[in-house]
Amino acid sequence: MLALKIDGTEIKKFMNSLLIENTFDEFEFREAVISSFVRFEIDGKPPAGTPDEEKKYSPWTEVKPYIFNIIKGKTKPRQMKFVFSYPYEKTEEFNAQAKALFLNILFENEAVLITSGCQTKVFTLDKGVESAWDSYVKSFFVLKGTAFAEV
Give the pLDDT score at 107: 97
The pLDDT tens digits of the residues spanning 106-138 come to: 999 889 999 999 999 998 888 999 999 999 999
pLDDT at 51: 77
Average pLDDT of span 139-145: 94
Confidence (pLDDT) at 100:
96
102: pLDDT strictly greater than 90: yes
Residue 76 pLDDT: 85
Contacts of 132 (CB under 8 A, 6+ apart): 94, 95
- The more confident residue out of 74 and 80 is 80
Decide: 60 and 84 in contact? Cβ < 8 Å.
Answer: yes
Say if CB 67 and CB 34 are below 8 A apart: yes
Residue 48: the pLDDT is 83
Taking only the tens place, the pLDDT of each residue in 37-57 is 899 999 999 888 877 777 889
User: What mean pLDDT comes out for the span 80-94?
Assistant: 95
Rounded Cα gap, residues 21 and 81, in angstroms: 18
Question: Distance (Å, rounded) from C-alpha 105 to C-alpha 35?
Answer: 14
Alpha-carbon separation of residue 47 from 43, 44, 52 (angstroms): 9, 9, 8
Segment 12-40 mean pLDDT: 95
Residue 11 has pLDDT above 80, yes or no: yes
Confidence of residue 10 (pLDDT cuts 50, 70, 90): very high
Mean pLDDT of the chain: 93
Q: Give the Cα separation of 151 and 116 in Å (integer).
A: 12
